[in-house]
Every structure is written in C-alpha cells, then in structure tokens.
Chain A
C-alpha cells in the first residue's frame, strides 16, 4: 500500500512538473520532483532497500515516458540515487530542513551528472555537455526538497495510521540491522 500511494503521488508530481512548471516565469529549469521521491524512499528507514529500488525504478521509468527521454535513463539513475541515499543514511542522519535541503542539492547535482553520463552512452551524438544549468536545478530542488520530503513523511505517517488500525503498522527499521545489505 505504501508503494502504491507513493507511486501515485510521484505520478502526480511528474505530471505537475511536465505541465504546470512550463507556465512558471523561469521556463528553462524546474526542480527535479521525481528525484525527491527517490530520495525519500532511499533515506526513510521505513523502506527496505529492495522496495526503495522498485519504487525508484518505477518513478524513473515513468519519468522517462513523461519527459521523452530514452527509456531507462532515469530508471537507472534513480535506482542508483536510491542506493546513494541509502548509503548516505549509514553515515549521516538526514534530519531537519537545512540537512534535507543540502542533501537534495547534492543529490540533484549528482543525478544531473549521472543523467548526462548515461545519455552520452545511449545517444553519443548528444555528448557530455549540458551541465551548465545543473546548479540552478539543484538549487531549486534543494529549496523544494524539505517540503516534498516532509509531504512524503506525512504520507508515510498516514499509511502507518491506516495499517495500525488493521494491526499491520510498520515501525522504523534499523538500518544497522543485519538485514541491511550495507553492513
């Protein structure tokens, strides 16, 4: 249920990104809302790494379809970013607005580099150029990051409440437990 709700919200965010943001004053760049979904599932202790990877793949696949990118570009990058986020949680506790924004900023920069790298493999004629606006995209992603991550934490809480009514509540998982592939 958690995955279905998260994917539905991700779908709405991607539609929002592809339509509403084109009417914004700055047409050239928009925050990477899909990446924030991936960051949430990667950072949250309520998601196992496998379910985070599945949601990241599905979000990336959907984003490839919505954005007209070659199939698999964002799917691959988003799965890698989910792994990056999960790896980050073993070293840093990403909490609070400032740290969330900083994480979103860094993740967006990293994702931009990966996208350009993967794009160059799929379409060599496109080359490695186009990273000039990555900092602006990362800045916007960092600004909206805490809001979107907060929204997903709220959704997770609501899902937990619904599950607890039927006795299925899932508490936070310890990432240092022996089921983590990062140990």
Chain B
C-alpha cells in the first residue's frame, strides 16, 4: 500500500514536470519574446557569469596565443630571445589594441552611415545549442531602450534581430537561425525573397525562399535587405549567393546564401533602436551593387 502510493507520487511528479514543460512551450510559442519574472531573475544571475566567463576565456586564449609565439624563438640567442619576447608581447598587445580600436572605429563608421539610431553591444555568448542560432549581448549604456524585434548590425552586414530582452543582456536571433525570416532583394536582378537560416548545417548558411524563377540568380550575387516588413532599413548587406541548386522545379529558385557576417568571430554589434525610415518606392535603387560595409544610400 505504502509502496503503491510512493509509486503514484513518483509518477505524478514526473507527469507534472512534463506538463509544466508543455505549458512553457505553448506559452513561448504564443509570445516568443516574452519572459516571465522568474526567467528575467534567472537571466540576471546567468548573464554576469557568462560575461565573466567570456572575458576569462578570451584572456586564456590570448595568453595561449602568446605562449605559442614564444616557443618559436626558443632556439635563438637567449638575450635576443628575451628582447624578442618583450617586443613580441608588446606587439601582440598593440595589435590586439589596434584590432579592437579598428573594430570600434568600424562600428562608429557604421553608426554614422546607418539611417537609424543605434546603440553598441558586446557579445558575451554564442550558440549554446546548434539547433537555435542565438547570441547573447550585453549593453553597457542604453538599458531599457532595446525591444523585441529590433535589428542588429555589424560593420559587415546584418547579424539578426533582438529576440529576448532581460535587463542589460539581450538575445539576438541570428539570421542563420531557422526561425529567422528577413525580406531581401538581389540588387543585380531586383528579385525579392525571404532569407531563412539553415540551422544545424556544418557552417553558417541561409537560403532564400520565394525567389521567382523569372529573375535568375547567379553565384556571387549580393543579397541586401529590401526594407519591406518594417524591421530592417533597406539596402543593408546580408550575404552572397554561394550556390544555386539546380534541378529544382516549380515557381521559385533554390538558392543558398553565405552571410557576410562571420558569426564565429562576432564580438561587437549595433542594435538599431529607432524605427527605420520608410522604404524608398524607387525600384531602380535596388540595382545598386553591394559589397563591403554596406548601407546603400
């Protein structure tokens, strides 16, 4: 009798856990960007730890990199080696600073040419799960201004859009996430389609859906935002076509796109916090070439 009630209690607890998980799923399916007070509380605990761990990891990588450099000069004269070590360490530090400064300058440059108000954010975690391409960023200034759905840019192009917000940290749904959908255009042909991520692929890839066959795409064609849908400003660089899959039948072409942003090296981003301007109705503007740091005017 006692054993029976214990067994019943065990089964009931398991059932309750499954039920809560299913209820959470249904709620998040209805309101993807919403977080409960408990979620926000947990994220407030998690984000500082992620941020600290990220800094420690980068420091360890930097020290390891220096160690590798130093082992190359061990065979040389000891005095020269010591001098060399010092200079190399300084050089590495200078390069790191120069690279960091360059990144910030490019971000500032992007901010100057982006036709919208932006704030900078630092990436503290990327891709904990291969089935959901999400990066977490921390915003030092401008907390409270970031909202669900806001576009996120880098100097190379579009990174994604804000998915969840919790205090100073926010999740970016990268454009390679399969849930992401961005209205894009091929400037060469004017062909429009929906860019969708291909999660779980061995590489960051996207595909363009609903691209009409009447405007044939070619490998190497640039893809930019169309500005339609109201989320992204128009003519922001997104990626390049790397494969036009032959043999597909139907009304639409099957096209694979490699994003211009290297998501494995994502470190700083800009969040567009002001609404983008209304799209230009002039269709000839779509035929501008796209390359490099791209915000076309």
Residues of A whose CB lies within 8 Å of any CB of B are: 11, 14-20, 22-23, 27-30, 48-50, 53-54, 56-57, 60-76, 79-80, 83, 112, 115-116, 118-119, 121-123, 125-127, 129-134, 136-137, 178-181
Quick check: B18 and A131 within 8 Å, CB to CB? no
A-side contacts of B9, CB under 8 Å? 50
Which of A11, A16, A56 is in CB contact (< 8 Å) with B17? Answer: A56
Which of B14, B54, B198 is in CB contact (< 8 Å) with A129? Answer: B198
When C-beta atoms are compared, the residue in chain A nearest to B166 turns out to be A65
In the assembled complex, how far is the CB of residue A85 from the closest CB belonging to chain B, in whole angstroms? Answer: 13
Q: A181 to B11, alpha carbons, bound, how many Å?
A: 7
New A-B contacts (15) at CB < 8 Å, excluding given A70-B132, A75-B21: A18-B136, A29-B130, A53-B13, A63-B128, A64-B24, A68-B135, A68-B173, A72-B25, A112-B131, A125-B196, A132-B201, A133-B200, A133-B201, A178-B7, A179-B10
In the assembled complex, how far is the CB of residue B149 from the closest CB belonging to chain A, in whole angstroms? Answer: 14
B-side contacts of A28, CB under 8 Å? 127, 130, 202-203, 264
B-side contacts of A29, CB under 8 Å? 130, 202
Quick check: A71 and B136 within 8 Å, CB to CB? no
Give the contacts of B2-49 with A (CB-CB under 8 A): 3, 6-7, 9-11, 13-14, 17-18, 20-29, 32, 39, 42-43, 46, 49
When C-beta atoms are compared, the residue in chain A nearest to B43 turns out to be A65
Give the contacts of B126-182 with A (CB-CB under 8 A): 126-132, 134-136, 163-164, 171, 173, 177-179, 181
Q: Is B213 an interface residue (CB 8 A)?
A: no
Chain B CB within 10 A, most for which of A14, A18, A180: A18
A-side contacts of B203, CB under 8 Å? 28
Quick check: B25 and A73 within 8 Å, CB to CB? yes
Quick check: A72 and B134 within 8 Å, CB to CB? no
- Please judge, given known A-B contacts A27-B264, A123-B179, whether A79 and B131 are in contact too, CB under 8 Å: no
Q: A137 to B135, alpha carbons, bound, how many Å?
A: 19
Q: A61 to B38, alpha carbons, bound, how many Å?
A: 11
Q: Is B253 an interface residue (CB 8 A)?
A: no
Which of B22, B23, B198 is in CB contact (< 8 Å) with A130? Answer: B198
B-side contacts of A129, CB under 8 Å? 178, 198-200
Q: A130 to B13, alpha carbons, bound, how many Å?
A: 33
